[in-house]
Amino acid sequence: MAGKQEIRTTAGAPPIGAYSQGLVVGDFLYTSGMGPLDPETGEVVGDDVAAQTHRTMRNLGAVLEARGLTFDDVVKATVHLQNLKEDFAAFNEAYQSYFTRPYPVRTTVGSDLMDILVEIDFVAYAGR
């Protein structure tokens, strides 16, 4: 596909499969779903959803930064929580600390995640 640019950074969680950390297509950056992996070791960081959310957001922030973007450029987030009912409030408090109004639109669902409590992906406006 013409006009597709891969975004890569060592400051965010490394891909553990056949996917890119981010792709710019047209005026938008699409990130892959990211979790709370340490960029250097690939190990899960944090024992609770708040700590895992902060690590995940830092990973996503690194991909945004690699394209010259910030959390203010995020227009859509999709969030998967291992324990939706139990962890939503703590997740939301950690997540919200990265944004100001108007917040991105968001979908949050319960999912069967592999050894993590949260996974998040973004769509960000990259046209300037």
Whether this model's pTM surpasses 0.85: yes
Q: Give the per-residue pLDDT at 84.
A: 98
Q: Is the pLDDT of residue 1 over 90?
A: no
Stretch 90-102: mean pLDDT: 97
- Report all structural domains of the chain as residue ranges with CATH numbers, in order of start: 4-125 (3.30.1330.40)
Q: What is the DSSP string of the chain?
A: -TTEEEE--TTSPPPSSS--SEEEETTEEEEPPB-SB-TTT--B--SSHHHHHHHHHHHHHHHHHHTT--GGGEEEEEEEETTHHHHHHHHHHHHHTT--SSPPEEEEEE---SS-SEEEEEEEE---
Question: Could you read off the pLDDT of 46-74 as tens digits, one per residue?
Answer: 999 999 999 999 999 999 999 999 999 99
Q: Is the dihedral of CA 71, 73, 76, 78 positive or negative?
A: negative
